[in-house]
Chains A and B, each alone.
Chain A
């Protein structure tokens, strides 16, 4: 098991090398001059040129990439933001917790709502409940998050004055962002749970359980649900991983200073070190979440454990 984890962590290295190279290349070929963007239209050309030199932007592409990687690997330093002149690590550390909080609460909301809906829909297949919830799930998947967010603000903040419309300080602040960001995940998880449950419930061991005279609840939750968990946890993991990548729209609408907004702002300003840094951190987070999901398989399905050597 430990060997497996170590191997998986080692595999992070080529992934991250690939990610840095691709992002670096993309930023390099995108038009837009970081020095000019930092100083603004009114800055004299000499000042811009001086800054360009200072940032090392006049070096050839490979030299720039090599310098960046050297700094990253040798000094374990993500560099200094072009715009704020603060260490990139510090900027990311400031933004990541609120993203974690947002993604965490959105996924939690999605699990609490999505899994029961999926189970009930599967058990009561083609019932009114099933049809209605699956129709809602379709709407949930198709609904743009900013639209839902604004509607929720309109209803709960403006009309009912029950919840705050911006910020992230308390539980109360997180309700609306978590609901609007989690709505799609609810839909995805509910549909995944339903189809996975339906697939499992046709298996022989379910029939055996019923034949033994097990209570229906036990059959559904212990025999069917446990076996249906693998695809569900994969989809929860993927949802969480991608939400960690930042939810720019939700963060903007609810004024949450997360990593999504940080990354989009830094792309707009061509703040190369900050773009690189945030993409790197997001990739690491995504890989780790995936690894955790894989390890969780072993916990829920003993058959999988034997494969981890």
Chain B
């Protein structure tokens, strides 16, 4: 090759490189009237699109767009029919559903009562959604006619109808599930507003509008849900117009989006409660006075504000205010070091004690742990913070090896049963989410009663009493509730956030 040729090649390559680079500078305004695709950035890719194989937010977020459930929540939080035409609770444990006629699956088949029964039976026997549907007796299903069926629960559970709103209760095509076998998770067939097109694992899921959808037709024909794990990058993609909606905006980026005229921030306090737990079976935490002393020593608003930088809300009780029968006027504790020292002395620890505080790798939790460590030092409690990897953390908590720890608990429906039963009941001691090893006969009795009692002032009184006992006993200290923080372009309208972390994206419209 002569020198001349080499020079030419280098020149052409340089020009080509510059042109490619310049091509990226275009950008410009999006023409809203012609926009026909919604691109969403989420933090994680779904693990499966089989509603019974997993129970996780990223998967639910996609399932919500491709499946329907028999019932949904209306704007007042009431359970209303969706794929069902009507439903009734026949007695304590028996439910009757009548399905809508003429609804089509994405494969063109009509939804039959067999599909509905198949789906709920499959949900009832799948370990991944057992916490929501394990109460259904899988042998109790009876088909009455070609649109209605009944089934029974193993025991009365008032909150059960709320569980049916979860994507885990989606109605699947029996034929599609059986035909696909093990591959169903990658070939989901639902009745929802969008149908599944393609899935590039770890990267994106592509959906397309389902033209025969029985409900209101979505305003755009294509939806792409991308997985962008790095929070900063989700914000950058939103700023540069690469995506229309970005989930889980980090606290650090909130101001940047709020200050940007082209973008909007949407926020909603969710159903999660982050808390500082104690092992109630271990000394010195088995003494209520010690737990109270620690509560008095903490300035929780300051802790939450420093760690979460304004995202989320300070928790005043064991469950989120979104949940039914939330009681606001329970006993509150102020930040009072003197009182804390007194209580500690009364309990026999005038000079404090040494203990360990565990948390997993989540940065905000580590920050909270560090601040708690320094605040407890003031009353003489020497805290050693230990950071554990999630898998080992869960195992050790289940075994009861902990002294103090920070973790979160999410109520997966608006019913208080799911919010309180896990972290407070005797049945779930240890591995089943009662990581505080809290045992209180009265609370346990009330939790069981609450589960059985139909919605009424009586049920309200039960859950109010539980919250009062909780505030007095303080088996763990509520710190804060999470918040869904979703950034959108200004032209994205009608984004409805839910407190569950997955949102009905199909309702979005575009406008000025």
Contact = CB atoms under 8 A, between A and B. Distances in A.
Interface of A: 30-33, 36-48, 50-51, 80, 83-87, 91, 94-95, 98, 150, 153, 157-158, 161-168, 171-172, 252-258, 261-262, 268-270
A85 B182 contact: yes
B128 A38 contact: yes
A171 B21 CA distance: 11
Contacts of A270: 391
B56 A94 contact: no
Contacts of A171: 20
Given A43-B128, A162-B24, A255 B230 contact: yes
Contacts of A255: 203, 226-230, 233
B239 to A, nearest CB: 7
A39 B128 contact: yes
B409 interface: yes
Interface in B376-435: 389-392, 394-396, 398, 407, 409-410, 412, 418, 422, 428, 431-433
Contacts of B233: 153, 165-166, 253-255
Contacts of A252: 229-230
Nearest to B392: A31
Contact of B201 (A31, A80, A91): A91
A84 B185 contact: yes
A47 B21 contact: no
A165 to B, nearest CB: 5
Interface residues of B, number: 58
A165 B433 contact: no
Given A41-B409, A84-B48, A86-B186, A31 B131 contact: no
A33 B233 CA distance: 32
A31 B21 contact: no
B391 A42 contact: no
Contacts of A32: 389-392, 394-395
B228 A36 contact: no
A268 B391 contact: yes
Nearest to A262: B202
Contacts, number: 162
B422 A42 contact: yes
B169 to A, nearest CB: 16
Given A42-B433, A85-B182, A165 B236 contact: yes
16 contacts: A36-B394, A41-B407, A41-B433, A42-B55, A43-B55, A45-B432, A47-B128, A83-B54, A86-B182, A91-B201, A153-B236, A157-B236, A165-B236, A165-B237, A166-B228, A256-B203
Nearest to B46: A84
Interface in B304-340: none
A157 B237 CA distance: 9
Nearest to B239: A158
Contact of A85 (B185, B236, B410): B185
A48 B127 contact: yes
Contacts of B54: 38, 83-84
Interface centre among A41, A157, A163, A253 (most CB of B within 10 A): A41
Contacts of B407: 41
A37 B391 contact: yes
- The 4 A-B pairs with the shortest beta carbon distances in the complex, nearest first, are A257-B202, A32-B391, A47-B130, A47-B127
B47 interface: yes
A40 B55 contact: yes
A158 B236 contact: yes
B53 A85 contact: yes
Given A255-B229, A268-B389, A95 B202 contact: yes
Given A31-B392, A85-B53, A36 B431 contact: yes
Given A37-B394, A83-B47, A94-B201, 15 more contacts: A31-B396, A36-B394, A41-B394, A42-B418, A43-B131, A44-B131, A44-B432, A45-B431, A157-B236, A158-B239, A171-B20, A253-B233, A255-B233, A268-B391, A269-B391
A158 B47 CA distance: 31
A257 B395 contact: no
Nearest to A153: B236
Nearest to A91: B201
A171 B240 CA distance: 19
A95 B201 contact: yes
B203 A164 contact: no
A41 to B, nearest CB: 5
B242 A36 contact: no
Nearest to B199: A94
B357 to A, nearest CB: 19
Given A42-B433, A164-B24, A31 B391 contact: yes
A22 B27 CA distance: 51
A227 to B, nearest CB: 22
Contacts of A46: 130
B57 to A, nearest CB: 11
